Amino acid sequence: MPEAAFAGGRLGEAKAALRARIVAERRAMTADQRATAGRQLRDVALGLPELQMAGTVAAYVAVGTEPATQSLIFALWKRGTYVLLPVLMPDSDLDWATYEGPDSLVPGPRGLLEPGGDRRGVTAICSADLVVVPALAVDRAGRRLGRGGGSYDRALERVGSAIMTVALLYDGELLDEVPAGGHDQLVRAAAMPGEGISRLG
């Protein structure tokens, strides 16, 4: 739902309510359901033509109940793709470092796993041919609901408009409308394990 539809604190309230609902739905999934969805999502994403052609991909290591990304990252790395992963900075902006295999990941803040190698700087995402982003929900206009920290909105603001940005979701998380404000960055596609790829906007 566009920002103009909200007054005062209603945008924040709408986002919080939707976040709570989706987080609860994700927690209700079994570990087997999440693992199966992760494998299916890997195969869906690897079939995306823009991902097949990408020399450099910016991705992320899923945590908790997020759709699993580890096998997708590993598959990209094994076929020779240069994979950048985020490193959360104290101000919640994202630095980037290179994935060099599963052993290159180290514990980071907030339960995250991050690459332990040299930092490439916040603008390293600009070198990516495709960006894979986390989301709790996306709507058909490309509006994305994140966790609320603003890290990916800041990162996506640096990405050129011609670059494919893909949010990874579970089935049912592509909605007709997502509450969004002026600072919220759009994504160009959503990937889901059963529903496949939806191009947005």
Most confident of 3-17, 21-35, 106-120: 21-35
Q: Mean pLDDT, to the nearest integer, of 30-34?
A: 93
Residue 110 in this model has a pLDDT that exceeds 90: no
User: What number does CATH give the domain 3-199?
Assistant: 3.40.50.10420
Instruction: Report the chain's mean pLDDT, rounded to a whole number.
Output: 92
Q: Please tell me the predicted confidence (pLDDT) of residue 8.
A: 47
CB 173 within 8 A of CB 193: no
On whether the pTM is more than 0.75, the answer is yes
Residue 31 in this model has a pLDDT that exceeds 50: yes
50-99 pLDDT per residue, tens: 999 999 999 999 999 999 999 999 999 999 999 999 999 999 999 999 99
Residue 3 in this model has a pLDDT that exceeds 70: no
Which residues on neighbouring strands pair with residue 157, listed in sequence order? Answer: none
Which of 88, 110, 107 is CA-nearest to residue 155?
88
Q: Please tell me the predicted confidence (pLDDT) of residue 47.
A: 95
